[in-house]
Amino acid sequence: MTKVLITDPIDQKGIDILSQVAQVDQRIGISNSELASIINEYDALMIRSGTQVTEAVINSSKKLRIIGRAGVGVDNVDVKAATQKGVLVVNSPGGNTIAAAEHTIAMMLALSRHIPIANSSTFLGKWERKKFVGNELFKKKLGVVGLGKIGTHVAKVANALGMDVYGYDPFVSTERAQQIQVKLSELDLLFQESDYVTLHLPRTSETENLVDMKVLKSMKKSAKLINCARGGIIDEEALAEALNKSLIGGAAIDVFSEEPLCSNSPLLKVDKNLILTPHLGASTREAQENVAVDVAEQIRDVLLGLSARTAVNIPGLNPDIMDSLKPHLQLAETTGLIISQLSGGQIQKLEVKLQGEFVQHPSQPLIIASLKGLLSKALGDRINYVNASLEADSRGILVVESKDEARPEFASGSLQLTSYGDNGEHSVAGSIFADGELRIISIDQYPVNVSPSRYMLVTRHRDMPGIIGKLGSLLGSYNVNIASMQVGRKIVRGEAVMVLSIDDPIPNDLLESIIEVEGITSANPVTL
């Protein structure tokens, strides 16, 4: 008999759907070791955020076909291990959009009208009307950092409230911003000029402690900060200090770097202009029901031999095909990640050109992998092989595919991505060598031969004596070690591209010094 295991609290409607096609067992709060010992009995596993589905758990399964996460994030599931095992992972990316957006608006209103503290005061028998004079949202400038589904809905509601809405998202085109009635802004200006700033970003290495003391000091003294996205985006110690010193007007926080909020958190020592809620963004009856029903329906469909709507790992490809395409998908994703960092601004169009052997493979997975790489810096673990196309479309990025079956320069063919956006046109091409090694073979049409590394620096410069030595000396003075170097040029003494593989990331002050070197016209650090 088909069996489904549920290890976190799930709305009854989801359980009822699964009960139509399978025996449903609930083991709420089960330990990882217990889960690993019994998972081989089950065809499907349904979880929320409490269960950690590790590689060991997945490898202990014998007939597991699908893991369903009733919610958005899948950071508690080893998706790579599941994919290698041929196990589908699904989530519910849109189930809590309204709940999270509405909680953001509620936090803005509560902060503006001092509702929590006024409520407490009134219950104590006080009548302090003059003490709790608030602010209207009408005609105030709202800065929305991150214009995904939730950020876009917040912007929509804010527009209806008469706010002047500005937004920052490196992958939202001007056309898309106009459609959702948001004025695009540089991030620094958004923080400096907004009356309210709301964060709608994933927690990644790029966004961790994004809002630090420097950013807080740049904001208006009356500005208010809201975070209902992910903990760790705000430096909590800096925020506590900024509030205690009245550097900003207030903050409303629903998510924290450590949850539950620890008793020694500096935020608990703030005595004014701060609202804290225990991660309630998705905690509505409707949202819990929506995600449970959505994921339960997908599990039911897969158990009946049908397809899933929102698989996180690549849908429609069996493990054998996945294995054969693995280096090609890795190249596509890597190339997308590189070009996103070279392009810099908003991207309106991405051209995916396949040549030689690449033409013989299914093109859609390669396009999806390219988009996943392109958007991963901005969206972190929110971006996956299923939603990549949707996320690109929602940001107004046009994707164009072309194929060239002519005899390629490299035996295995190549994949080239070309971006068109605010900072002009950029291209990156890559190939796979005989030993399976990924190589970047051109950047902006300049020939190179580079193995992608964790940290790289890509420069454009005039091809002139001494420039390489100056750059090497400058990096050495900052103790940044060069692992390899490639220079590509089209003509002698013309423009050239230099790619450095380095052992350490480039500090901001070093990057500024590099750009000031005579002859260097641009410098882009790349992190993979």
Distance in angstroms (rounded) separating the CA atoms of residues 177 and 183: 6
Identify the pLDDT of residue 59. 93
* 142 & 213 share domain: yes
* 65 & 14 share domain: yes
Instruction: Please determine, for residue 284, whether its predicted confidence score (pLDDT) is greater than 80.
Output: yes
Residue 347 lies in a domain: yes
Are 226 and 201 within 8 A, CB to CB? no
* 428 & 470 share domain: no
Residue 396 lies in a domain: yes
Distance in angstroms (rounded) separating the CA atoms of residues 130 and 434: 76
* 107 & 252 share domain: yes
**CATH code for position 458:** 3.30.70.260
Instruction: Please determine, for residue 384, whether its predicted confidence score (pLDDT) is greater than 80.
Output: no
Give SS3 for 66: strand
Identify the pLDDT of residue 321. 58
Average pLDDT over the chain, rounded to an integer:
90
* 466 & 441 share domain: no
* 462 & 447 share domain: no
> What is the DSSP secondary-structure string of 1-57?
--EEEE-S---HHHHHHHHTTSEEEE-TT--HHHHHHHGGG-SEEEE-SS--B-HHH
Residues with Cβ within 8 Å of 154's Cβ and at least 6 positions away in sequence, in order, are 101, 104, 105, 144, 198, 200
Comparing 67 with 492, the larger pLDDT belongs to 67
Residue 138 lies in a domain: yes
* 105 & 170 share domain: yes
**CATH code for position 65:** 3.40.50.720
- 464-480 burial: b if 16+ Cβ within 10 Å, else e: eeebbeebeebbeeeeb
Residue 18 lies in a domain: yes
* 387 & 247 share domain: no
Q: Which domain holds residue 463?
A: 454-528
Distance in angstroms (rounded) separating the CA atoms of residues 275 and 255: 11
Domain limit, last residue, from 430, 452, 474: 452
* 272 & 127 share domain: yes
Distance in angstroms (rounded) separating the CA atoms of residues 471 and 500: 10
Domain limit, last residue, from 452, 482, 505: 452
Distance in angstroms (rounded) separating the CA atoms of residues 517 and 513: 7
- Beta-sheet strands, E only, within 124-176: 141-145, 164-168
The least confident of 150-154, 269-273, 450-454, 468-472 is 468-472
Residue 419 lies in a domain: yes
Angle (CA) 451 457 460, round 5°: 110
- CA proximity to 77, closest of 23, 27, 16, 8: 8
- CA proximity to 395, closest of 417, 415, 366, 422: 422
Are 163 and 139 within 8 A, CB to CB? yes
* 446 & 465 share domain: no
Identify the pLDDT of residue 274. 98
- pLDDT tens track for 156-192: 999 999 999 999 998 888 888 999 999 999 999 999 9
Comparing 204 with 397, the larger pLDDT belongs to 397
Confidence of residue 395 (pLDDT cuts 50, 70, 90): confident
* 428 & 347 share domain: yes
Residue 242 lies in a domain: yes
Residues with Cβ within 8 Å of 105's Cβ and at least 6 positions away in sequence, in order, are 154, 157, 158, 161
Domain limit, last residue, from 452, 480, 508: 452
For the chain, what is the domain count? Answer: 4
Residues with Cβ within 8 Å of 175's Cβ and at least 6 positions away in sequence, in order, are 348, 396
Residue 417 lies in a domain: yes
Identify the pLDDT of residue 314. 65
**Catalytic center residues:** 230, 259, 279
- pLDDT tens track for 310-329: 888 765 555 555 566 788 88
Q: Highest mean pLDDT: which of 13-17, 340-344, 346-350, 369-373? A: 13-17
The mean per-residue pLDDT over the stretch 445-473 comes to 89
* 120 & 244 share domain: yes
Residue 19 lies in a domain: yes
Burial of 162 (0-12, 13-18, 19+ CB in 10 A): exposed
